[in-house]
A = this chain, B = another copy of it.
Amino acid sequence: MSPVATRGPVRVVGTGLLGTSIGLALRALDVDVVLADPSRTSLGIALDMGAGRLPAADDAPVALVVVAAPPDVVAEVVAAELEAHPDAVVTDVASVKTSVRDAVAASGADLTRYVGSHPMAGRERSGPTAAQAELFAARPWVIVDSGSSSDEALLTVRSLAVDLGAVPVTMDAEGHDDAVATVSHLPQVAASLVAARLVAARPEALALAGQGLRDTTRIAASDARLWASILAANAGPVRELLVGLREDLDRVVAALDEGSLAGLARVVEAGNLGVARIPGKHGGAPRAFEVVTVLVPDTPGELARLLTEIGDAGINLEDLLLEHSPGQPVGLASLSVLPGSTGQLVEVLANRGWRIAGEEQHA
């Protein structure tokens, strides 16, 4: 274990998923954590889970306050905490940053001690019962200067992120909001729009669903109320992207009306260019993997046997995707390996009697 930079007591305001997870993670590092939440139920669960303790009269001054309140009240809570704890650094963990920073600034609070942050660890159930100390492990944690944040305040929040196993990334509020509009809010809206088309689809049509539909709509299962508030708080950047998307969509409809193959190909080509820009594993440049697809009987231990045999051969999988089949007790495992490893992988699999369903190059 590496040394811990964060000094207690840390005050966590809001004991939902993020606040409770932060408490659990800090307690696992032996940092003193004080919890607060207007909901006695939520607070009670977080206390029972060991995410921290109640404040005491003789507590040392709080060094750091983490505001993990709902998006609509977070700025107000940040301003109140800056006022109540005049020596503390205060951060929040809301997923939109410009509106929070502007509201905190408008309150007249001390911006030198305020730093925005956004641990990108969503997609879990909400509430304290879903909390986990490891929630932030290996996830980006965006750190946002208030415009007047002191170096000390910025370092305090960066240390919190690193202590919790996250990867700190420094951005300004506008840059953060533009970025999450692109990589998070736009895909969410698109997934919801595609999934909404399925409401009226016939069951026979849905029975043909393959991995493409499943992939594009997976995040459409997200919480509607939470997402409504996120989208509303980042309306400007999200709107701009959606208007651009609508212009391209109109081009597709026009190309369908005209039977223009060139017009249709242009949109797919633009998508080719865009998807190729998503960074590859480990934050590096996108890298072409080769993919070998193998049939895996759907019985306990078969997938493990497959991966054991690959591991025994010293081949490292870059990615693994399981695809299930309608009405068949067999799955397809797509194994991504570095270019050049395919030949060895295919040989190992064939020698062990695995049935290979395909080889492809994959961006």
A-to-B contact residues, CB < 8 Å: 120, 123-125, 130, 132, 134-135, 137-140, 142, 167, 169, 171, 175, 178-180, 182-184, 186-199, 201-225, 227-229, 231-232, 235, 238-239, 241-246, 248-250, 252-253, 256-257, 259-262, 264-279, 281-283, 295, 298-305, 307-312, 314-317, 319-322, 324-332, 355-363
B357 pairs with A134, CB closer than 8 A: yes
* A interface SS class: helix
A221 pairs with B190, CB closer than 8 A: no
B195 pairs with A270, CB closer than 8 A: yes
Name which residue of chain B comes closest to A130, CB basis: B360
A327 pairs with B245, CB closer than 8 A: no
CA distance A195 to B271 in the complex (A): 5
CA distance A132 to B349 in the complex (A): 15
List of B residues within 8 angstroms of A241 by Cβ: 197
A264 pairs with B231, CB closer than 8 A: yes
List of B residues within 8 angstroms of A256 by Cβ: 231-232, 235, 238-239, 242
| Pick from B134, B272, B278, B310: contact of A206, CB under 8 Å | B278
Extra pairs beyond A124-B358, A197-B244, A221-B271 (7, CB < 8 Å): A175-B202, A184-B210, A190-B193, A196-B274, A198-B274, A209-B279, A217-B274
| Pick from B178, B271, B273: contact of A205, CB under 8 Å | B178
List of B residues within 8 angstroms of A359 by Cβ: 125, 130, 132
A130 pairs with B358, CB closer than 8 A: yes
Number of copies: 2
User: Min CB distance, A79 to chain B, in Å?
Assistant: 22
CA distance A218 to B272 in the complex (A): 10
CA distance A224 to B204 in the complex (A): 28
Known: A140-B326, A232-B264, A242-B253. A183 touches B167 (CB 8 A): no
A224 pairs with B193, CB closer than 8 A: no
B212 pairs with A215, CB closer than 8 A: no
A326 pairs with B132, CB closer than 8 A: no
| Pick from B140, B209, B321: contact of A321, CB under 8 Å | B321
Name which residue of chain B comes closest to A214, CB basis: B278
List of B residues within 8 angstroms of A360 by Cβ: 123-125, 130
User: Min CB distance, A61 to chain B, in Å?
Assistant: 33
CA distance A224 to B304 in the complex (A): 37
List of B residues within 8 angstroms of A223 by Cβ: 268
User: Min CB distance, A233 to chain B, in Å?
Assistant: 10
B227 pairs with A268, CB closer than 8 A: yes
| Pick from B193, B311, B316: contact of A245, CB under 8 Å | B193
A274 pairs with B197, CB closer than 8 A: yes
Known: A132-B356, A209-B279, A327-B167. A271 touches B186 (CB 8 A): no
B179 pairs with A208, CB closer than 8 A: yes
Name which residue of chain B comes closest to A192, CB basis: B271
List of B residues within 8 angstroms of A268 by Cβ: 188, 192, 220, 222-224, 227-228
**10 closest cross-chain pairs (CB), A and B:** A192-B271, A301-B311, A198-B274, A179-B205, A304-B307, A138-B325, A195-B274, A220-B271, A196-B270, A195-B271
